[in-house]
Structures are given as C-alpha cells and as structure tokens.
Structure 1
C-alpha cells in the first residue's frame, strides 16, 4: 500500500513515525540546551509548575498596592451613611460602632428606647433635685 493510495482517507501508515526524525532531533537539541518546545516534544520529566513560593516582583507589588488604593478611594467616595432613627437617644456602643463603620444602620429596639428615655428622665430629676 502506498502513501498516495491512502491520502485523504484518514489512514496513517505505521512507518510514518520514521519520517519525523528532524523533529526528534530538534526536540533532543531543545532538551539539551534547556529550551522548551510545545506539544509532544516537551520533556515530561519535570513538573510544569515552578511558581510556588516565588516572591512577588516589584511591579506585581506596585500593581496590587495601586489596586488596593483605588478600591479604598472608591469606597470612600461612594460611602452610604447609615440612618440614625433617634438622634437624641444614642448609646456609647452605637457611637463606637459609628466610628468603626459609618455605614452601620443603627436602630433602637422599643425596649432599649424606653429604658434610655427612663434613664434620661431620672438624670434630669436628679439634676433638678440638686438645684
């Protein structure tokens, strides 16, 4: 059977690997010189990685730092300040929360509101009785 007879039929001649000698020598030369070829000529004795625990380059660090700064600025510009329902009645805890996260939506429960109003009333009575 000739190669010309089988052309276009998808049949591969079992001796066709002998025709690839120039490619094999190229692969061998690449392996000896340390170059890497794509596809089947690559030497599979080593792992394909080599990136683990490699320190970041200065360029990488700068890019990451710049991205961090940009996102921080965006957050600052588009800050949504949470609503405070009762401005007169605000506790120390809410002030602390406000300082750490201004977006916090601070609402008082009915129970806490009653307790705070009662506490303020007692403080005012104590002041009046002292005068």
Structure 2
C-alpha cells in the first residue's frame, strides 16, 4: 500500500510515517517500479501500536524498546511490564504535580475576591520557596 493509504488507515499524516522510518520504528518499505513506497498490510498495525503507546505516555524511545520486546519470548513480557510499571510511577508523580498546580491556582483565584492588601499569591510564593528565595 502507498504512503497516503497507510497514513489514512493508521490515522497519521505521511510525514509521521517518514519520521517513524528515520527513527527505526517503521521499517523502510520496498519501492514500486515507479519509485513509490510500498508498505505491507501489517504496517497499519505497527503504526497504530506506536500511536497507542504514545497515547499511554510512552516516549518514542520507549516504544522502540517495546517493539523490540514484542519480538521476544517470555522474558520480554517481564521487561515490558517493568517499562509499564516505571511509566505508572512517572505518571503518578506528574499527576501529583498537576494536582498541586491546580490547588495553587484555585487558591490564587480565591484570593482575587479579597482586598488587595489581603491577597496572597500562592504561585509566586511557591516558586520563590522552591527556588530558595522565599
């Protein structure tokens, strides 16, 4: 199948396919006699796998590792589990950071109704505290 067909079926743009090829996530396809790229049908599954892994928060480097692991046996399952467990730890840290940011913004919004001399800016205070200037 041609680049445009693969891109349409996988839900990406053609430049994404070329980028994945450069990174080694998608094998370089054969060429037609006219010089067009000719992807095998399983390329759709592969590109969808990459996109879904990105949606789950995996980096393209992580995805390269997952694709390599997908070719292996039982040991690969343990390694994939470890990658996913590390991603969960990272996501939990980022969620905690986002919750703290949300709480700080909610506090800031709540102070806006107070008289100017009673207002406290938790964002500026927290930035100053974390940077050692508060």
Query: Is TM > 0.5 for Structure 1 vs Structure 2?
Result: no
Q: Which has the higher helix share?
A: 2
TM-score under structure 2 normalisation?
0.28
